[in-house]
Amino acid sequence: MKKEIIKFILNGEQVEVYVDPAKSLLHLLRNDFGLTGSKEGCGQGECGACTVLLDDLAVNSCLIPAGKVSGCSVVTIEALSRDGKPDFVQESFVEKGAVQCGFCSPGMIMSAHALLKQNPRPDAMEVRTAISGNLCRCTGYKQIEEAILLSAEKLNK
Ligand code: FES
Ligand code: FES
């Protein structure tokens, strides 16, 4: 296994790590940086539980080789709360009862952030499209859709 130094911005801070560039970004985040908010469901790009922002776009971190993030910005769910307080999207998920077991929630919330960065006023169909790669086995999606629409309302107040 050939290792190399990879430098990138992680949650706003410049970091560097000596790692196999073929290792997945998900395993890099969880195992090398201790950021376990991003979840591993399928490990194959099917469930979205591992979603993070890569240069502001939602990606399945289980499919991204660590070597590809060199020079990029990666944002994980851990970057959202401030002083232990949830951010406006996280709050909206709580207010709308969009979290049950919570396994999908970090990925859903990161997909919501990616959507709101590109489109601060999404309609319901655009929300559904944005989370179409995120699977939830608990909520039935309605509350998640409502939570993201509520987040957009808060953003535009
Ligand atoms: S763990 Fe990455 S898409 Fe399922
Ligand atoms: S809340 Fe359980 S998978 Fe979505």
> Does the beta carbon of 143 sit less than 6 angstroms from any atom of ligand 2?
no
Residues 96 and 135 in one domain: yes
Ligand 1 test: best mutation among 28, 47, 52, 108, most atoms within 8 Å of CB? Answer: 47
CA distance 13 to 110: 18
Taking phi over 0 as left and psi of -120 to 50 as alpha, with beta for the rest, 43 belongs to left
| CATH code of the domain in which 100 resides | 1.10.150.120
Q: What is the distance in A from the centroid of ligand 1 to the CA of 156?
A: 31
Full strand arrangement of the beta sheet holding 73-75: 13-19, 4-10, 73-75, 51-54, 57-60
- Residue where the block lists tokens 């999908």: 104
List the domain range (segments joined by +) for residue 75: 4-79
pLDDT of amino acid 144: 98
pLDDT of amino acid 1: 77
Query: Can you give the pLDDT of all 157 residues of the chain as single tens digits?
Result: 799 999 999 999 999 999 999 999 999 999 999 999 999 999 999 999 999 999 999 999 999 999 999 999 999 999 999 999 999 999 999 999 999 999 999 999 999 999 999 999 999 999 999 999 999 999 999 999 999 999 999 999 8
Evaluated on CA atoms 102, 104, 110, 114, the torsion sign reads negative
